[in-house]
Amino acid sequence: MRLENKVALITGGGSGIGRESCLLFAAEGASVVVADTNEETAAETTRMIRDNGGQATHVRADVSKAADCQAMVRHAEETFGKLDILFNNAGIMHSADSDAVHTEEKIWDLTMAINLKGVYLGCKYGVPALRRAGGGSIINTASFVAIVGAATPQLAYTASKGGVLAMTRELAVVHARENIRVNALCPGPLRTELLMSFLNTEEKKQRRLVHVPMGRFGEAKEMAYAALYLASDESSYVTGTEFMVDGGLTAAYVTPE
């Protein structure tokens, strides 16, 4: 198993990429801490793992709050004895997020608090735990929009993911000699509730898909497999990367006619 004897903490583990990653990591031998603001969905993910013979626990955590991030890391160490993998995956894409003129300040602040500050706080409390374990892997969920911008305006989301990418690079450099690797997972457009609720018309969906050479939305499980590589020792010489999993979008970004 690719994550045998590893302990992984995954935020946003109640749905989407987070849930699929929790299930996959557990199937590959990891003991998993499922963190989410929705305790019910986090508990459901935990039950799914245990029903398949895996080890898991869940904790309610709002990643925009320092106390919650500190508590989720503490929970991981107290439950499983250490922390080897931190997957800062939790994020939002607000339906009211638009361009600079139309995006309200409260939407900007909320998006930054969860998507960007949440990664910072996860690392603030996660890095000392990884040090105590002798090193490990941090995976931060960014996005293809951090590289190319979005055809459908979502300025706060795009800016927050750009920040995640920049923070990932710096953390990778800072902690490289401590056996702590830090990488950014950059998904393309996915068929998840998060994106589908934002692309809520067929016109919006097609405007996004026209850029994807594969001609389809990605699946959350495909992102989980990418995260698994970054979490495993197979990526032991990989740090500071933008791991693009986008159906070729950033290789051939085009403007629709």
Catalytic residues: 157
Token match 């995954």: residue? 10
| Structure token digits, residue 88 | 């800062």
* Amino acid identity for residue 80 in this structure: F
Token match 């998993």: residue? 32
Cβ neighbors of 38 (< 8 A, separation 6 or more) are 14, 15
| Structure token digits, residue 236 | 């032991």
Cβ neighbors of 200 (< 8 A, separation 6 or more) are 95
Query: What is the C-alpha separation between 55 and 57, in angstroms, rounded?
Result: 7
